[in-house]
A and B are shown apart, each in its own frame.
Chain A
Amino acid sequence: MSVIFILVFVAIIMAGAFLVAFIWAVKSGQYEDTYTPSVRILFEDPQMKENSDQSQLAEKSQKSEKRKKEKAKESH
């Protein structure tokens, strides 16, 4: 049963590591703004401007659909 001792300590060290990571994330401001990054990630990188128009169009229509849904939600 003494293996439990090792396991318990390994477990608490792992959990502690996650706690430290969480505190770091909060302190570095990752919880300040939970909305903008979700929009930002959909922007195309400036280097990839040569991308075909089609993918742009697809993204555009996706976004406008998303917006419509949001609006529908709001109006409820």
Chain B
Amino acid sequence: MSEDLKCIHCGNSCGKSPILFECNPFCCSGCSTVYQILHTSQLKQYYQIEQMPGIRIEDDKRPVSETYAFLDLEKFKSKILLFSDGQISKVSFFIPEIHCASCIWLLENLHSLDNGIIRSFVNFPKKEINITFNENEISLRQLVELLVSIHYIPEINQHSIEKTPTDKSDRRLIIKIGVAAFSFMNAMIYHFPQYLPGHEFLEADIRRMFGWLSVLLAIPILTFSASDYFLTAYKSLKMKMISIDLPIALGLVTLFTQSLVEILSGRGIGYIDSLTGLVFFMLVGRWYQGKTYQALSFERDYKTYFPLAVTKISNSGNTTIPLEELKAGDRILVRNQEIVPADSTLRSGNANIDYSFVTGESMPVIKKEGDFVFAGGRQFGSAIELTIEKEVQQSYLTQLWNQSENPFKVENKLNTIVNRVSQYFTVVVVLIAIGSGLFWLLNKPEIALFSFTSVLIIACPCALALTVPFTFGSTIRQFGRKGFYLKNTAVIEHLYKVDTVVFDKTGTITNAQLSGIRFIGKELSRSQLQLIKSLAFHSSHPLSKTIFNFISGDELLEVKEFQEIQALGITGVINGFRINMGSRFFVTGEKSDDDILNTEVWIYLQDSVAGHFQLENEYRPGLHELIQNLRKTYDLHLLTGDNDSEKSNLIGFFGSEKNLHFSQSPTDKLDYVRKLQKEGRKVLMIGDGLNDAGALNESNVGIVIADNVFNFSPACDAILQSKQFARLYKYLRFTHQSMKIVRVGFLISFLYNLVGLSFAVQGNLTPIVAAILMPISSVSVVVFASFSVNLAAKRSRL
């Protein structure tokens, strides 16, 4: 059998001994089970639409039978179900694993798997499935377990059940654009005859009708489409500030009144075509800027990570209770792979707690009975019994989250470049308008009012308002294509201002898993490797898992007298040979050197020490170059929860140890970022785990590194795909280019304003000048912004 046989379900390598079912190779029994389910339900087309579309679930990640027991509780059922009349129910799940056409096909054919499912509908961009089912035939819990059985695990947590169904603001904006387009197009038709020679021969009745029709068209524009501009202008005035919306609102109102006056007096038909056009372009800009990554979540907090329900132990037996009903003093059961929901003490069982999500530390911590266990850790191994010390809301981790209210971010929001510019802009325009009004009042009083309004009309900063949405909108799209997802366009400006970069170590500049692994010692034969693999299989310790996965092959031998000795290693007898695996002290009896930087697993096999596996914290590729580049312009800092065993390596990267800080608790990290900000720094924090959550939130920009961007990530401003890590410098540099483009865009729109104002102050602003100048300035700025961003992206090989 060839080495690179691929699992027909998930496409992973099958290793040396694939599992066969009907002559099809599988990498693991999980994949083969899914295949069999689909096979018996006549759903084999799943494998024909896309090659190897399936999802592999590691055995230790598989939810146990009790995981979804809480879905039988009425309390959760009513929260999760969108609709239910006791029989027909509707539910919507977020499934991060949805990735291809086969997924859509299978999930929309769920009714073939169970008759209780009436209809299922996939929304691919949102990675969402909507299911209508009959509760008499299949319960919510069974439905979820069905999805899990075919490896599509829905995300069910506090966050997903509290979230409001669908955000309607998007739809509203699209309707506003539709209405604006309708009015714009029709108003243009009515105005067009005015711009042709011989329009003065047009019948007066027709002209009047055109005038009144365009006023009618302008009414929905002002009251509906442009309502946001008036609202925000009013709001910012109330806060004694001038935002870009104020001159826009001013311009729109003057345009409309001036047009109304002209139509009433029969002098002309006004500027309604310009008015509707401006609103249309600005709304399109707003829509373009509002690009969102629907399937990504930037707002997750600890609630997303914590379970919804826990198993409470009482004298009458075990019951499942919702998390918020958990009180101090309660006894709870935490099974393999489950999360400790609140600070508690260990009552019984072998606690082997993995805090990697909280601290970034990859080694699990062993706890003894009576020890204190912090919330957020994940138990590995057998079930443990805990006594709750503090309620969920008072846990260390929760507190950390709640205390980070960031005043800097609010301040930043109001201080964007476009608002700064518009402050001066508005003042200058109003001064010019008054000036020219006064001038004509003294010289030619009949056009004084007209020149005053003309200035306000022509200076409507539409082009100005379009520059930022289109430049930043294009930038966000360019970034998104390259695996760097921003929460919104404001983040670009914050990235531009950053002068200090703070890194987290584990999971950020190193790979999350201990991935570098090699064996040092005499070479092992195939059968010896199989012995080691078989022994490692029996332990749930992450190091055993890593070694188990490192060795290929699937033949597992029977292990006798297996014993796991905490903090030391494992031992067992296979085929009459005793095998020991574990720390150097455990296997060889020698004390391990203190200055060893790497994690080692020693092996005692067939009456001798065979050698050891060396596991290394692998730094992300391209780290060195990235740091070298960043050092030129940014002040670099490193905060890590680990001890300083890697210090010498890190100095190699960062140059000096001045800004390297070891053994930092989550609160220390938060305080450090605060301290930097007090010094006036603009801080960019890059992290990955829950332990960085406070600091990420606190910093001016928080970037999360994620292997799978759809899976859990703490609240942040941007998510960076881990394989794009090395390009971070390019992204940061590119924000400078974007800002340059914004500035040039501003310059262009000022030039247009200059030309327009020269007409306006002379009292020469005719409808035709307005009708030509205003759309041209908008369109040219839009074209310039999007085109130059794309060109710059190509040039800098983003």
Contact = CB atoms under 8 A, between A and B. Distances in A.
Interface of A: 1, 4-5, 8, 11-12, 15-16, 18-19, 22-23, 26-27, 31-36, 39-40, 42-44, 46, 56, 60, 63-64, 67, 74
A59 B178 CA distance: 37
B213 A33 contact: no
Contacts of B125: 33-36
B241 interface: no
A22 B175 CA distance: 8
Interface in B100-148: 101, 104-105, 108-109, 122-126
A44 B336 CA distance: 43
Nearest to B190: A8
A31 to B, nearest CB: 6
Which 9 pairs, one residue from A and one from B, show the smallest C-beta to C-beta distance? A36-B124, A33-B123, A19-B182, A22-B178, A39-B101, A35-B124, A26-B174, A39-B104, A26-B175
Contacts of A44: 45
Interface string B198-231: 0000010010011001000000000000000000
A5 B209 contact: yes
Contacts of B488: none
18 contacts: A1-B206, A12-B213, A15-B185, A18-B182, A22-B175, A23-B179, A26-B175, A26-B178, A32-B171, A35-B125, A36-B125, A39-B104, A43-B108, A44-B45, A60-B49, A63-B50, A63-B101, A67-B50
B175 A36 contact: no
B124 A4 contact: no
B123 A63 contact: no
Nearest to A33: B123
Contacts of A67: 50
A1 B203 contact: yes
B721 to A, nearest CB: 12
B633 interface: no
B126 A56 contact: no
Nearest to A31: B174
Interface residues of B, number: 32
A32 B175 CA distance: 13
Contacts of A1: 203, 206
A56 B47 CA distance: 12
Given A1-B203, A43-B108, A63-B101, 7 more contacts: A11-B189, A22-B175, A23-B179, A33-B123, A39-B124, A44-B45, A64-B50
Nearest to B171: A26
B511 interface: no
B206 A4 contact: yes
B51 interface: yes
Contacts of A27: 171, 175
Contacts of B49: 43, 60, 63
Contacts of B210: 8
Contacts of A23: 175, 178-179
B48 interface: yes
A70 to B, nearest CB: 11
A42 B166 CA distance: 28
Given A23-B175, A31-B171, A63-B49, A40 B104 contact: yes
Contacts of B320: none
Contacts of B179: 19, 23
B171 A15 contact: no
Interface string B328-350: 00000000000000000000000
Nearest to B125: A35
Contact of B122 (A15, A18, A36, A42): A36
Contacts, number: 70
Contacts of B203: 1
Contacts of A18: 182
Contacts of A34: 125
A8 B206 CA distance: 10
Most buried by A among B51, B108, B178, B179: B178
B387 to A, nearest CB: 47
A63 to B, nearest CB: 7
A43 to B, nearest CB: 6
Contact of A33 (B45, B126, B175, B206): B126
Interface of B: 45, 48-51, 101, 104-105, 108-109, 122-126, 166, 171, 174-175, 178-179, 182, 185-186, 189-190, 203, 206, 209-210, 213, 481
Most buried by A among B45, B49, B51, B105: B49
A64 to B, nearest CB: 7
Contacts of A15: 182, 185-186
Nearest to A73: B481
A33 B50 contact: no
A11 B182 CA distance: 12
Contacts of A40: 104, 108
A11 B209 CA distance: 14
B178 A8 contact: no
Contacts of A22: 175, 178
Contacts of B186: 11-12, 15
B339 to A, nearest CB: 33
A72 B416 CA distance: 37
A21 B179 CA distance: 12
Given A8-B209, A15-B185, A15-B186, A32 B123 contact: yes
A18 B101 CA distance: 33
Contacts of B481: 74
Nearest to B103: A39
A44 B101 CA distance: 13
A33 B182 contact: no
A40 B124 CA distance: 11
Contacts of A26: 171, 174-175, 178
A25 B186 CA distance: 21
Given A26-B175, A39-B101, A60 B48 contact: yes
A43 B105 contact: yes
A12 B352 CA distance: 73
Contact of A8 (B104, B105, B108, B213): B213
A10 to B, nearest CB: 13
A51 B50 CA distance: 19
A44 B105 CA distance: 10
A35 to B, nearest CB: 5
A33 B108 CA distance: 15
A14 B213 CA distance: 15
Nearest to B178: A22
Contacts of A12: 186, 213
Contact of A19 (B122, B166, B171, B178): B178
Contacts of A31: 171, 174
Nearest to B48: A60
A8 B101 CA distance: 47
A67 B52 CA distance: 13
A1 B206 CA distance: 9
Contacts of A46: 109
Contacts of A56: 48
B280 to A, nearest CB: 13
A60 B50 CA distance: 8
B182 to A, nearest CB: 5
A40 B119 CA distance: 14
Contacts of B174: 26, 31
A35 B209 CA distance: 44
Most buried by A among B50, B51, B175, B203: B175
Nearest to B179: A19
A19 B101 CA distance: 33
Nearest to A76: B481
B253 to A, nearest CB: 25
B354 to A, nearest CB: 34
